[in-house]
Amino acid sequence: MDLSLAGLTVLVAGGTRGIGRAVVEEFAREGANVAFCARTGYQVGVLEEQLSESAGGVEGSVVDVIHPGAVAKWVSESAVIFGGIDIVVSAVSATALDDTDENWGLSLTVDLMGTVRLVKAALPHLELSTAPSIVALSNVSGREVDFAAGPYATAKTAVAGYIAGLAVRLAGLGIRANTVSAGNTYYPGSYWAAMEERDPATFEAALARNPSGRMGTPAEVADVVAFVASPRASRVTGANILVDGGLSRGIQL
């Protein structure tokens, strides 16, 4: 299926690891111009180099979404480089699980406010696009109570709620907004990879809860993000789409 992404410009915040990285790679494969950011300069440079032969332009930047001015500057500069912005994807997360004051602050500042700041900075550019779309990454922990209940899950619930509100508010402008919620996702350096080594019993218990018998991959989530963000999903807005292999058991009514 041609997703009609070639030539469009996509911003991805949190684009060098895991799902965020896979999202950057997928949009680049589809021929979109991709501007991505992350906090670590080395990782930004490596990914930018790896995607240098992509059909569309690829521009990496070092940005910490904790700083509102840095986010706004990155968005503005990216719009100048590529002549506009069509799609924004927020994949930022502090992945702060322990119930501490510091983690509550981190989760709300990075996961929630990082998404809010990205959207606010990008909105004036999205209003000028012919195919405007917003996608935020959340998690199944944001829609049902599980081991991650606390800072991480609460922030993910808030992200989904924020995006749902945006979808209604922006529908009249033709701007779509959706959430993609991943289940257990395994890749080198991930939380689950660390648990497999540090606490095999807990890892095996989590793995066993997946009806498919395995955890997902970042690419499987990125494929859904790309479709939902694309013009081919023109009637999809306000949705929280699960990519979890049947892990969550709730019925969405």
Confirm if 17 and 44 have CB atoms less than 8 A apart.
no
DSSP 65: T
Confirm if 170 and 124 have CB atoms less than 8 A apart.
no
Radius of gyration of the chain (CA): 17
Task: Name the active-site residue from 152, 186, 187, 191.
Answer: 152
Q: Nearest-CA neighbor of 66 among 29, 23, 34, 96?
A: 96
Cα-flanking dihedrals φ and ψ of residue 10, to 5°? -120, 135
Q: Assess whether 152 carries a catalytic annotation.
A: yes
Query: CB burial class (10 A; 0-12, 13-18, 19+) of residue 8?
Result: buried
Catalytic residues: 152
